[in-house]
């Protein structure tokens, strides 16, 4: 292999424009196309003629166009079809299939669609969905009440007949979007289609296990061999090729796993490239999510420099025009081609993951989106990239993928201007045929390659739904291409003139403005960027070099260090990663410290409360800013002291900032001035919120920054003074956070930090009559002790706000997508080493497909990386201490006797010096074997039969917990059934069960899982406050001015 790159290209530098400001960047897009007004006019005229010509020959329209024209995605029928197509064919049991059909179809007006489409395939699908399986006459009763008619038909025909009809309708649709179930079948069908060129794509989701990856690799190698054997004569650009999805070749194809990917994925790609070279066919790497772009290009670069591939002109990749980085990618690919003497194949596409990229940017708090937010911007970027590609025919063979008449005509114009004839267009199988036949009639036959999916109906489902979403949007060209109600001029209009974008989409909030004017979103840290990972590594090195941190009682802003009275109370703080590493020292609070803290806090509270919500809110906002500014240091400290992985640390840092801004906004809105209430003339009534006094906040070690900060921020926002006792295991993080509070402007007498043990310092604080209330997060047993302690005092009754643990379950049925279940269960059960109160503890899977689900889950577990949490590649760090590890070991001993251990990962060398416990998967016969949560990475899986579901749900509910609940199903009735049977404060449907977002998913349980109200929710702050209502008889002063001044 070549190890000395020629004219090395810095692909990582692409990240500098990943989140380019759209408002600034979009103004240059039209200029980059190089198309003047005359050229734009020619393109527009030609595009209108193409649309008109295509419409006049409706026989050539594909099923996608016909489907979208008839149903679209804006009505109940279109959405029902999409849901059925996504889920039905993978359902193994008849009962669930019947239930899914009934739920999704019963509310649709299928009669209104029957026979209306010009496509017999759409009509056949519709008739199948009308539940007869054959041609029928429309019953008048069906027109009046389709739902009632359907129920009667169900009773008449029977569910098996209906199921067979709908299955057949789904298969009719599916067969039109895949060229074949196998590559041989696809080649055979391709031959029947005449001279159509294809790039064959092996359908399927990304790999979740090594077995998945090996299976996909073999499928690709088989495809290369079959396509090569069927190769016709001619240059490589004129024969079939194969497309590769790199994420199918490795379950950990992520930027943070770069070293592993380069070591394990690159040999697979090289093997494919060798095979493709031997067959003299092309091999194109598909484009995927934006976070994988740089890593994909680094792999591509390495292949392009392989001497043993010299002389082969079939290496290609796809570039997404909706990514802001696309022009820079094209520029570097051209440089790569010239540096290596290769002519590289570049498939320019608009992009298929737009909605995912928008959602992810919102969730992750990126500074901007990596993609354009408007279709005109993407279209202009497409043309700008096309121009650059056509200007470099020595380095790039252009492949332009579009179903848009304007884009097609614009590429032809650009090619003519560049004097380039060697290029091709591409379209998806089942789409765009009418457009390209019209183009051939208008301009003569041109090179058009079909992107042809190959695979089973089950493999097709995610692909089909993605294509429907991509092309079913009302702004999509395909959606209205053949719709006669939409003028051809409108359909063919390009991204120039009045449609030229001057700014981002007005209806899509930027990630930082997601929550409107009231508060900013917390800033994310993009670990997929090499520069960011390097920066954090330096922060870890700086923390290690700085030496131990000292956490001492912080009273009045002064750390109480040393003194004879502290003899024996100084303890080392060691890292759970390596118990021989001393991170710092903690000095436990004494009785004198506790009394001093109360004296200062009581004296300061009224002054702090009187300053009002706006002043307090401003300080909390400054605290949020300070946390983000010092974020790298906190990531390093959380990794060292708490064993937090960097990804978990980023999430916790953001949560802490979100708490500050959320409670700041609420303080400004609700705690600044009393609210006037309605009442009779002659008096005024005002209700105001006031701080209760001194709140004691006792925070846990599993969220040493977020929960510590959140408790303090809430109590402070409500006007209370605070005495905080951080967890014994993580006092250093609390000390550093308190330092930031003071730097943000918090008066030093309002907040005091008293580190120490719960049985001494914690007990003294909760017993003290000066405590106005307690906020606690921890175990149910300790919460009960605090509750009794508060009740036993001979003083005012103070509130306890407790968030405790849960025996959290996820219910899965057979409609759920297995890959999604595996992803979400793995993250929910093993993320943070299972040390979240919200973590998944029990996975309930239907017996019909339990074997496959358990096997897939075990395979995914094998890919988890156990190691140093400061390493970005680490998935699983240590548990918090030796005691926690021993509890887990004892539990596993019991599980080995009562159940079956499916998988228990070895922590390897990390377990020799650190507190590591490898993730475990245990199958149990009954939920009755679990009485309480076990705090660590152990997932218990239980199979169920449909008739057992009610009893299992009742047994789980009877245990008294109610924190989080997961449900994976495409059946809304299943969602409702489980929610009604199992109480939970937070219910997550078809997603992971952890990572509640402040203000979006207020967090907290019921029953044994907490007192409420929910943290990060609209009612939380009120529990920290007292209410005062003031009534004034203004008539006693001579009358009601408002009443007397009425005209």
Catalytic (active-site) positions = 803, 837
**Measured between alpha carbons, how far is 553 from 571 in angstroms, rounded to an integer?**
13
Beta bridge partners of 811: 844, 967
Residue in 1005, 1007, 991 with CA at minimum distance from that of residue 959: 1007
Burial grade of 31 (CB within 10 A; 0-12, 13-18, 19 or more): exposed
Element containing residue 277 per DSSP (H, E): helix 266-279
* Token code pair at residue 687: 């209700």
The rounded distance, in Å, linking the Cα atoms of 43 and 49 is: 10
| 531-562 per-residue burial string, b: 16 or more CB within 10 A, e: under 16 | ebbeebbebbeebeeeeebbbbbbbbbebbee
Q: Please, are residues 216 and 492 in contact by the beta-carbon 8 Å criterion?
A: no
CA-to-CA distance for 175 and 167, rounded, in angstroms?
12
In this structure, the strands spanning 554-555 and 558-559 are antiparallel
Tokens, residue 903: 């998988």
Going by C-alpha positions, the residue among 834, 828, 888 that lies closest to residue 857 is 828
* Helix and strand numbers, DSSP H then E, in the chain: 40, 28
CA angle 343, 346, 349 (to 5 degrees): 170
State the SS3 of 552-610: CCEECCEECCCCHHHCCCEEEEEECCEEEEEEEEEECCCHHHHHHHHHHHHHHHHHHHH
> End-to-end alpha-carbon separation of the chain, Å?
93
In angstroms, the Cα distances linking 568 to 165, 217, 562, 586, 931 are 79, 62, 11, 11, 39
Instruction: Give the full edge-to-edge strand order of the sheet including 675-677.
Output: 675-677, 683-691, 1025-1033
SS3 of 772, please? strand
Estimate to the nearest angstrom the gap between the alpha carbon of 692 and the chain centroid: 39
**Per-residue tokens: 805:** 């643990």
Q: Residue 119: is it exposed, middle or buried by C-beta count within 10 angstroms (0-12/13-18/19+)? A: buried
Full DSSP string of 322-349 = TBTTHHHHHHHHHHHHHHHT--EEEEEE
Apex 129 CA angle, 127 and 130, nearest 5? 65
Largest separation between any pair of C-alpha atoms in the chain: 105
């Amino acid at each position: 292999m070549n190890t000395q790159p020629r004219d090395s290209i810095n692909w990582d530098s692409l990240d500098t424009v990943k989140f380019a400001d759209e408002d600034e960047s979009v103004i240059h897009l039209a200029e980059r196309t190089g198309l003047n007004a005359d050229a734009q006019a020619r393109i527009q005229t030609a595009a209108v003629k193409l649309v008109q010509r295509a419409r006049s020959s409706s026989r050539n329209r594909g099923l996608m166009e016909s489907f979208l024209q008839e149903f679209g995605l804006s009505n109940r029928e279109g959405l029902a079809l999409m849901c059925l197509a996504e889920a039905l064919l993978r359902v193994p049991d008849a009962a669930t299939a019947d239930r899914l059909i009934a739920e999704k179809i019963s509310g649709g007006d299928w009669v209104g669609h029957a026979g209306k489409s010009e496509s017999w395939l759409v009509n056949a699908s519709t008739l199948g969905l009308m539940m007869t399986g054959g041609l029928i006459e429309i019953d008048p009763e069906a027109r009046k009440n389709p739902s009632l008619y359907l129920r009667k038909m169900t009773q008449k025909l029977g569910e098996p007949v209906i199921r067979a009809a709908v299955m057949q309708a789904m298969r009719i649709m599916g067969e039109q979007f895949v060229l074949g179930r196998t590559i041989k079948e696809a080649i055979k069908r391709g031959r029947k289609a005449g001279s159509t060129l294809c790039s064959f794509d092996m359908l399927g989701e990304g790999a979740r296990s090594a077995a998945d990856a090996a299976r996909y690799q073999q499928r690709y190698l088989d495809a290369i061999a079959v396509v090569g054997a069927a190769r016709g004569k001619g240059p490589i650009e004129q024969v079939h090729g194969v497309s590769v999805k790199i994420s199918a070749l490795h379950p950990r194809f992520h930027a943070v796993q770069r070293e592993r990917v380069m070591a394990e994925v690159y040999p697979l790609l090289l093997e494919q490239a060798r095979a493709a070279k031997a067959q003299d066919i092309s091999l194109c790497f598909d484009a995927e999510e934006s976070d994988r772009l740089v890593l994909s290009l680094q792999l591509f670069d390495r292949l392009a420099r392989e001497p043993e591939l010299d002389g082969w002109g079939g290496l290609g990749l796809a570039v997404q025009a909706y990514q802001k980085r696309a022009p820079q990618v094209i520029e570097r690919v051209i440089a790569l081609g010239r540096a290596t003497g290769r002519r590289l194949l570049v498939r320019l596409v608009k992009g298929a993951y737009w909605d995912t990229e928008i959602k992810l940017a919102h969730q992750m708090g990126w500074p901007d989106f990596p993609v354009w937010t408007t279709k005109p911007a993407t279209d202009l970027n497409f043309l700008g990239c096309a121009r650059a590609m056509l200007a470099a025919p020595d380095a790039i063979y252009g492949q332009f993928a579009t179903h848009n008449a304007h884009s097609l005509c614009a590429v032809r114009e650009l090619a003519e201007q560049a004097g380039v004839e060697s290029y091709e267009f591409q379209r998806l199988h089942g789409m765009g045929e009418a457009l390209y036949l019209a183009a051939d009639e208008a301009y003569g036959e041109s090179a058009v390659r079909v992107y042809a999916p190959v695979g089973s109906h089950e493999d097709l489902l995610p692909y089909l739904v993605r294509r429907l979403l991509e092309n079913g949007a009302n702004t999509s060209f395909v959606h209205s291409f053949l719709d006669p109600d939409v003028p051809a001029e409108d359909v063919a209009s390009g991204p120039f003139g009045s449609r030229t974008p001057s700014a981002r989409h007005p209806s899509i909030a930027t990630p930082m403005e997601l929550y409107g004017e009231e508060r900013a979103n917390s800033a994310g840290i993009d670990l997929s960027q090499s520069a960011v990972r390097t920066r954090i590594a330096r922060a870890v090195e700086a923390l290690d070099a700085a030496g131990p941190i000292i956490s001492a009682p912080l009273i009045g802003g002064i750390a109480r260090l040393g003194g004879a009275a502290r003899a024996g109370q100084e303890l080392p703080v060691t890292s759970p990663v390596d118990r021989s590493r001393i991170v710092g020292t903690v000095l436990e609070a004494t009785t004198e410290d506790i009394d001093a803290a109360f004296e200062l806090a009581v004296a300061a509270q009224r002054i702090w409360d009187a300053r009002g919500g706006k002043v307090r809110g401003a300080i909390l906002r400054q605290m949020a800013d300070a946390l983000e500014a010092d974020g790298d240091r906190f990531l390093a400290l959380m990794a060292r002291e708490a064993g937090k992985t960097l990804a978990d640390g980023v999430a916790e840092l953001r949560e802490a900032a979100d708490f500050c801004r959320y409670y700041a906004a609420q303080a400004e809105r609700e705690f600044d001035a009393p609210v006037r209430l309605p009442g009779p003339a002659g008096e005024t009534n005002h209700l105001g919120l006031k701080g209760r006094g001194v709140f004691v906040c006792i925070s846990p070690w599993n969220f040493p920054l977020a929960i510590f900060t959140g408790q303090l921020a809430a109590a402070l926002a409500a006007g209370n003074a605070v005495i905080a006792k951080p967890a014994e295991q993580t006092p250093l993080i609390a000390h550093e956070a308190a330092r930031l509070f003071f730097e943000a402007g918090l008066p030093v007498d309002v907040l005091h930090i008293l580190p120490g043990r719960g049985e001494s310092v914690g007990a003294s604080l909760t017993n003290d009559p000066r405590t106005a209330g307690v906020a606690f997060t921890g175990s149910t047993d300790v919460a009960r002790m605090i509750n009794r302690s508060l009740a036993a005092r001979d003083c005012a009754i103070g509130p306890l706000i407790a968030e405790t643990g849960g025996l959290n379950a996820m219910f899965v049925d057979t409609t759920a997508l297995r890959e999604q279940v595996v992803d979400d269960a793995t993250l929910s059960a093993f993320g943070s080493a299972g040390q979240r109160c919200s973590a998944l503890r029990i996975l309930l899977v239907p017996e019909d497909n339990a074997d496959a689900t358990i096997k897939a889950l075990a395979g995914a577990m094998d890919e988890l990386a156990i190691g140093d949490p400061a390493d970005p590649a680490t998935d699983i760090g240590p548990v918090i201490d030796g005691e926690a590890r021993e509890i887990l070991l004892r539990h596993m001993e019991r599980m080995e006797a009562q159940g079956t251990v499916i998988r228990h990962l070895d922590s390897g060398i990390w377990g020799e010096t650190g507190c590591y416990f490898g993730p475990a998967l245990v199958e149990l016969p009954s939920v009755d074997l679990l009485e309480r949560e076990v705090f660590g990475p152990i997932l218990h899986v239980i199979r169920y039969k449909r008739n057992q579901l009610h009893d299992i749900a009742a047994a789980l509910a009877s245990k008294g917990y109610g924190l989080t609940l997961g449900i994976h199903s495409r059946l809304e009735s299943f969602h409702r059934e489980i929610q009604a049977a199992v109480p939970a404060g937070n219910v997550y449907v078809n997603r992971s069960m952890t990572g509640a977002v402040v203000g979006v998913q207020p967090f907290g349980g019921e029953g044994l899982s907490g007192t409420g109200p929910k943290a990060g929710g609209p009612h939380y702050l009120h529990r920290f406050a007292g209410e005062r209502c003031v009534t004034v008889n203004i008539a006693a002063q001579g009358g009601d001015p408002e009443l007397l001044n009425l005209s």
